[in-house]
Chains A and B, each alone.
Chain A
């Protein structure tokens, strides 16, 4: 434990929990009807965080990297589900889940191997204390890029169907016919991380950096870590968005270079 680190106890948390009553009071006063949702969200937050704390404590105590791998796969699975949940139009069948999750798996693994294994280089490099937080930050941001990219791809393809099919009817191949749609999707997918980089340090103090500072790390060292993580996230988001959007564009067309919007289905949201 670094010098100056303050351990929290149950009373501290209970005092902080009082603040959630402001939310409840607001909902009651203005008849927002949010009490139930608020209660569920609060309980979920506490239970989920407590659980992950226990799981991480358990995994840190293990010597086998297989436990780390197992949790990493679970995280990727949930991230893939989140990508799916954010789509208004999904691909039919297993591809709906497979495209986002497959991309996250590949990008997550590559980023961890590069970022933790090669760049940070802890001893041993499979140390869960490094791999899991880094993977978490990468997944959280990459899934945003992938979701936005795929959502833009499918909605633009549906909206611009007449123009895309006009190009196809004139003899364009699928890459030519979808180039505008793909460019729009890539741009939308990469915008949040570019904005986040531009705003970080001025508008927002990133979570990892602030966490390290509270834990007693020198701010300059914490900043270095944050910069490294930002680069990792930016690279992973770009790669993930690129792979998912190009994969999606391929699924939206077939080997005869036809536009196949019948492969999409609209979801309730």
Chain B
């Protein structure tokens, strides 16, 4: 796969999702893009379409390769969507994560404990679950993270920890698209901003 300086990490070409005008833009490796807009404007729909979770017209490229060239699961292992309200299918956060050692540093970095990792999900707070979801999304090192309100349920301190973790992902060459209603967070994290207004997506100054 071409990975020279001219090939963007992620490129959308006329990606058309329900309720939005066709979207085209390109993101380089290591870039962080905020997607903003009022509730119901289509931020989540757009991220889901990039992750190929819903059918959408148009083309999406990763490192120059069109996504139709790879299977859906292969695409989503590299372009990872994480929902605002994370879904779970087992009882504890730990059973959703790969090996214990590989995520130990992330667990500590987000201010969580190994005991919480083996606690029932129902006993954890919304914020704790959201942090475990972030660890899960990062666990096998995807190329692009699509995060829907990743810190929506977190307090200031936990948000800072999460942003710190995301910054090290970006420093390692990862690409992040995230939605946020917090303008200050957009200013802290994002290098670019896509604003959705009345069904149109425009690039705005951060």
**Interface set of A (CB-CB < 8 Å, partner B):** 160-173, 180, 254-259
CB within 8 Å for A169 and B80 given contacts A162-B86, A254-B55, A256-B52: yes
| Partner pick for B87 among A162, A171, A256, A258, CB 8 A cutoff | A162
A160: chain B residues at CB < 8 Å are 87, 89
* Shortest Cβ gap from B90 to chain A (Å): 9
Question: Could you pull out 16 A-B pairs where Cβ atoms are within 8 angstroms?
Answer: A162-B83, A162-B86, A163-B87, A164-B87, A165-B87, A166-B88, A168-B53, A168-B73, A169-B80, A169-B82, A170-B76, A173-B72, A254-B55, A256-B55, A258-B55, A259-B53
Q: Measured between alpha carbons, how far is A166 from B130 in the docked complex, in Å? A: 13
On whether the beta carbons of B136 and A170 are closer than 8 Å, the reply is yes
CB within 8 Å for A164 and B89 given contacts A171-B76, A257-B73: yes
Residue on A nearest B88 in the bound complex, by CB: A163
B53: chain A residues at CB < 8 Å are 165, 168-169, 258-259
On whether the beta carbons of A171 and B83 are closer than 8 Å, the reply is no
A258: chain B residues at CB < 8 Å are 52-55, 72
CB within 8 Å for A169 and B83 given contacts A180-B89, A254-B55: yes
Compute the total of residue contacts between A and B using a CB distance below 8 Å.
Answer: 67
Interface residues of B in 108-156 (CB under 8 A from A): 133, 136-137, 140
| Partner pick for A257 among B71, B82, B88, B89, CB 8 A cutoff | B71
- B81 at the binding interface (Cβ < 8 Å): yes
A161: chain B residues at CB < 8 Å are 87
B137: chain A residues at CB < 8 Å are 170
* Shortest Cβ gap from A144 to chain B (Å): 28
Q: Measured between alpha carbons, how far is A160 from B55 in the docked complex, in Å? A: 20
Which of B87, B96, B137 has most chain A Cβ within 10 Å? B87
CB within 8 Å for A169 and B54 given contacts A160-B89, A163-B88, A256-B72: no
Known: A163-B87, A257-B72. 18 other contacts (CB 8 A): A164-B89, A166-B87, A166-B96, A166-B133, A168-B72, A168-B73, A168-B76, A169-B51, A169-B76, A170-B80, A170-B136, A171-B76, A171-B140, A173-B71, A256-B71, A256-B72, A258-B72, A259-B53
| Partner pick for A171 among B55, B77, B86, CB 8 A cutoff | B77
B74: chain A residues at CB < 8 Å are 171
Residue on B nearest A172 in the bound complex, by CB: B73
| Partner pick for A173 among B73, B81, B82, CB 8 A cutoff | B73
Q: Measured between alpha carbons, how far is A238 from B54 in the docked complex, in Å? A: 33
* Shortest Cβ gap from B151 to chain A (Å): 18
B73: chain A residues at CB < 8 Å are 168, 171-173, 257
- B171 at the binding interface (Cβ < 8 Å): no
| Partner pick for B89 among A166, A256, A259, CB 8 A cutoff | A166
* Shortest Cβ gap from A68 to chain B (Å): 46
Q: Measured between alpha carbons, how far is A166 from B54 in the docked complex, in Å? A: 13
B13: chain A residues at CB < 8 Å are none
- B160 at the binding interface (Cβ < 8 Å): no
Residue on A nearest B87 in the bound complex, by CB: A162
Interface residues of B in 42-92 (CB under 8 A from A): 51-55, 71-74, 76-77, 80-83, 85-89
Q: Measured between alpha carbons, how far is A171 from B51 in the docked complex, in Å? A: 10
* Shortest Cβ gap from B4 to chain A (Å): 27
On whether the beta carbons of B76 and A166 are closer than 8 Å, the reply is no
Q: Measured between alpha carbons, how far is A160 from B89 in the docked complex, in Å? A: 8
Q: Measured between alpha carbons, how far is A160 from B87 in the docked complex, in Å? A: 8
Q: Measured between alpha carbons, how far is A173 from B77 in the docked complex, in Å? A: 11
Q: What 5 A-B pairs are tightest by C-beta distance, nearest first? A: A162-B87, A171-B77, A166-B87, A256-B72, A163-B89
Residue on B nearest A166 in the bound complex, by CB: B87
Q: Measured between alpha carbons, how far is A169 from B88 in the docked complex, in Å? A: 12
B136: chain A residues at CB < 8 Å are 170
Q: Measured between alpha carbons, how far is A164 from B89 in the docked complex, in Å? A: 7
Q: Measured between alpha carbons, how far is A172 from B88 in the docked complex, in Å? A: 13
Residue on A nearest B80 in the bound complex, by CB: A169
Q: Measured between alpha carbons, how far is A183 from B190 in the docked complex, in Å? A: 43
B85: chain A residues at CB < 8 Å are 162
Residue on A nearest B89 in the bound complex, by CB: A163
Q: Measured between alpha carbons, how far is A169 from B72 in the docked complex, in Å? A: 9
Q: Measured between alpha carbons, how far is A256 from B53 in the docked complex, in Å? A: 9
* Shortest Cβ gap from B148 to chain A (Å): 10
* Shortest Cβ gap from B65 to chain A (Å): 16
Residue on A nearest B71 in the bound complex, by CB: A257
